[in-house]
Structure 1
């Protein structure tokens, strides 16, 4: 695999590694020499990503893991240490619910609420808890949570999701204070709207293109690297400015300079 190999000799766990952001994150870390463990509830998707990494010359294994089950999480962590001998990087990408299930809170189902909190918040808590003593003993480590712009801004129709991601951001700050003296950094990456399939969301940010899962993976790779060794408790927003529009109540794409100029020409 031809690339800058910042992570040779490192091992990473990527939760939700069979999904969109998780897959790109796993591929990016492996591309730079990292051994990767894919933890996902969907065993087939996890195995497919691990196989893709191995086909490209990397090292990867897949473990079926229910991140909402603390015993299952501890077992996957133990198997990772048994297989690779160490855990240097934890990236929590596992995400509960979907955009299609978002609605006003008074109409939301308990199953969706519990899924969001269980996967997004408790899943991250359980994995961080399972790896932190190992990282403390080794006096090094990187813990990176995938949060969301909605964890700080909130938006109608996203109450349970925003609550779960807000919890992740608070956990990032608190845990970074506890682990910093042991050489372990804890940070978050907050995406805005990320492209899925052929869906075009380029009008929802100020850059004017779709945010891709690769954009998020690039941010994760930076925070996992030695270049970010003095960064902890931070939240790296990767949204093309979308959160600025959420904050102001303005839809970015309908009000950016390029679109306004095009409207003026039409008139």
Structure 2
């Protein structure tokens, strides 16, 4: 039995020495993960208010669209449209950027040009920079548009390239960041999931389009909520289902 006691003692000493018993793990990742989980998981986030938000729309271009393969492209474009309408209805400052517009990425999709013509006209073209936040003109335009607002709503055509890197960079610069996952896609499900995990580990919050617009509306009876309900939900969202709803048919 003495050899068993010695073996257990040796293993215990090794665990204490390497920090595994305190949750540190190999390479120190376990400790930071446990600490972030014990703190971040209990964080109470403030509600999302239009008055504190600005929106960044990244690389919604006709050529880039073909990199979306994990979800229907029509879904991505539909949710992009709802985000743009939300920005228009609630006067949320919006900055657009494009990548290699005169090459294979192509022009900004037509719906976005038409819904936010001013943002489209003042878009920031990039000629090679992959992370838009590393493009000085885009960063300056975004900070100017924010005007002291603290919450950046970010969406781009692909989560694994267009969204994840700037979302993390913007968060590191002290902003609250919301990534709208279903207004984007990725080449495959694994790439999309990896992107989401990366930005959430950096403290970026994940929203769907519907969750964002309903949280921002807050109450259908207040001025913002009433505008979102009529101009976005009733006029735009419900008709997209191509069906008749009870209230439309006069059924109580």
TM-score by length of 2: 0.45
Q: Could you say which structure has the higher helix fraction?
A: 2
Computing the radius of gyration over CA atoms, which structure comes out larger, 1 or 2?
2
TM-score by length of 1: 0.42
